[in-house]
């Protein structure tokens, strides 16, 4: 792990051409301050938000190749855990945040362990079923969850309550979340665990024959993925201030999460960020421009763009971009280190 940390540090500043990465980080840090218009600030927050979700999904879906279409389950568990704790039991939202992550991680472990035997579409379908069951249970157990009515989170702004008047702190909150998941997935990508996951993604039987403990690796990936998805669920509850079973556990959300990672490029730490930065503005702008006047038109365009994107870029945006960008990068002046 220390070796990987050193490499991360080197990658961020020492290595050649990586100053582009540094520049990107500076831009990302300044963006929340620059974007003052509340609508664009919302889009920015949503971009960080979906990037976090896509990155978290990517740990189990991308690196380990276990394609989940039920990540809304962990998201919903996170949102409900934190909201029930903070609204009903008066726990500090900061504690509730980590409880949300913990609960989601535990759910991920409990759900994934038996489901890992399933391969291909069967794993995907089982994850959908799990999210649906959780949604139905959230509707049924009204004493805890308020059922279909949902939980309204009283607005008490302040850093202690993890709620803010302006969008700027939310944007930094989401950015921090994104940075955390990015750092963790970068560390995984360049660690023994990451290599093991890649190996078992390509051929599980061969990887096991070479001594990779497939179940253990996948379980760790699932727990990490669930944990960060749960954190993001809590963030969403603190930002929207309202949760209800149909949005928190929806299949649409699950698909959107996996789609973000897929469109960007599977199994890379940058891919989900690219995917989120492409899809979220598209979706939000379409909804804003067309959603109000012509019901359904924005959905039609969004769906069509999706189909076209998938047909044109079946290997993800990053494979397509990197081919073009790499040649450009080679022409950039390199830093002294190389």
Q: Concatenated DSSP letters for 170-222?
A: HHHHHHHHHHHHHHHHHHHHTSHHHHHHHHHHH-HHHHHHTT--HHHHHHHHH
Q: Which H helix or E strand runs over 152?
A: strand 151-152
Build a one-symbol-per-residue string for 279-298: x at contacts with another protein by CB under 8 A, - elsewhere.
Answer: ---------------xxxxx
Minimum CB separation of residue 135 from another protein in Å reads 9
The region, left, alpha or beta by phi > 0 then psi within -120 to 50, assigned to residue 172 is alpha
> x/- string (CB under 8 A) for another protein, residues 56-95?
-----------x-x--------------------------
Residue 109 and residue 222 in contact, taking contact as beta carbons nearer than 8 Å: yes
Q: Does 278 bind another protein (CB under 8 A)?
A: no
Pick the closest to residue 270 from 18, 16, 72, 45 (CA basis). Answer: 18
Q: Which of 144, 304, 335, 337 binds another protein (CB under 8 A)?
A: 304
Interatomic CA distance for residues 48 and 44, integer angstroms = 6
Closest CA to 174 of 35, 318, 41: 41
Rounded Cα distance between 294 and 288, Å, is 11
Q: Which range, of 98-106, 130-138, 185-193, 226-234, touches another protein by CB under 8 A?
A: 130-138
Q: Rank residues 170 and 249 by Cβ distance to another protein and give the closer one.
A: 249
| Per-residue contact flags (x/-) with another protein for residues 101 to 120, judged by CB under 8 A | -------------xx-xxxx
Report 309-328 residues binding another protein (CB under 8 A): 309-311, 314-315
Burial of 40 (0-12, 13-18, 19+ CB in 10 A): middle
- Minimum CB separation from another protein for residue 328, in Å? 26
Regarding 43 and contact with another protein (CB under 8 A), the answer is: no
Closer CB to another protein, residue 90 or residue 114?
Answer: 114
306: contact with another protein by CB under 8 A: yes
Nearer to another protein, 214 or 301 (CB): 301
The tokens describing 234, both together, are: 């809590």
Of 111 and 177, the one with the shorter C-beta distance to another protein is: 111
Min dist CB 62 to another protein, Å, is 11
Q: Rounded to whole angstroms, how far apart are CA atoms 88 and 37?
A: 34
Reduced DSSP (H G I as helix, E B as strand, rest coil) percent helix, strand, coil of the chain, to 5: 75, 0, 20
Site for another protein in 204-263 (CB under 8 A): 251, 255, 258-259, 262-263
Q: Under a CB-based contact definition with an 8 Å cutoff, are residues 15 and 335 in contact?
A: yes
Nearer to another protein, 59 or 97 (CB): 59
CB of 303 to another protein, least distance (A): 3
Question: Cβ closer to another protein: 161 or 215?
Answer: 215
The footprint of another protein on this chain (CB under 8 A) covers a number of residues equal to: 48
Place of tokens 């919302």: 42
Taking the least distance from each CB to another protein, the nearer of 83 and 127 is 127
Rounded to whole angstroms, the Cα distance separating 165 from 169 reads 8
Which parts of this chain interact with another protein (CB under 8 A)? 67, 69, 114-115, 117-122, 124-126, 128-130, 132-133, 136-137, 139-140, 251, 255, 258-259, 262-263, 266, 294-307, 309-311, 314-315
């Amino acid at each position: 792990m220390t070796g990987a940390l050193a490499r991360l540090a080197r990658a961020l500043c020492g290595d050649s051409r990586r100053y582009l990465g540094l520049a990107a980080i500076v831009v990302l840090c300044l963006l929340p301050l620059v974007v003052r218009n509340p609508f664009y600030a919302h889009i920015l927050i949503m971009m960080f938000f979906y990037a976090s979700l896509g990155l978290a999904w990517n740990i189990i879906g991308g690196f380990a190749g276990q394609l989940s279409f039920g990540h809304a389950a962990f998201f919903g568990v996170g949102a409900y855990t934190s909201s029930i704790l903070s609204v009903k039991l008066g726990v500090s939202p900061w504690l509730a945040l980590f409880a949300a992550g913990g609960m989601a991680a535990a759910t991920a472990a409990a759900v994934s362990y038996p489901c890992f035997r399933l391969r291909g579409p069967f794993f995907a379908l089982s994850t959908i079923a799990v999210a649906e069951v959780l949604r139905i249970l959230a509707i049924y157990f009204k004493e805890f969850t308020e059922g279909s009515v949902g939980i309204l989170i009283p607005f008490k702004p302040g850093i202690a309550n993890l709620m803010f008047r302006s969008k700027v702190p939310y944007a930094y909150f989401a950015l921090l979340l994104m940075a955390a998941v990015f750092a963790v997935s970068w560390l995984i990508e360049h660690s023994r665990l990451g290599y093991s996951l890649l190996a078992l993604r390509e051929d599980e039987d061969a990887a096991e024959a070479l001594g990779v403990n497939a179940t253990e690796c996948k379980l760790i990936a699932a727990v990490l993925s669930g944990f960060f998805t749960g954190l993001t669920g809590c963030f969403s509850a603190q930002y929207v201030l309202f949760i209800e079973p149909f949005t928190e556990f929806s299949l649409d959300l699950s698909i959107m999460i996996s789609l973000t990672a897929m469109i960007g490029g599977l199994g890379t730490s940058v891919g989900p960020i690219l995917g989120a930065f492409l899809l979220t503005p598209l979706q939000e702008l379409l909804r804003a421009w067309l959603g109000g006047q012509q019901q359904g038109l924005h959905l039609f365009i969004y769906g069509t763009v999706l189909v076209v994107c998938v047909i044109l870029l079946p290997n993800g945006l990053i494979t397509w971009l990197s081919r073009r960008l790499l040649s450009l990068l080679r022409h950039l002046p390199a830093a002294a280190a190389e």
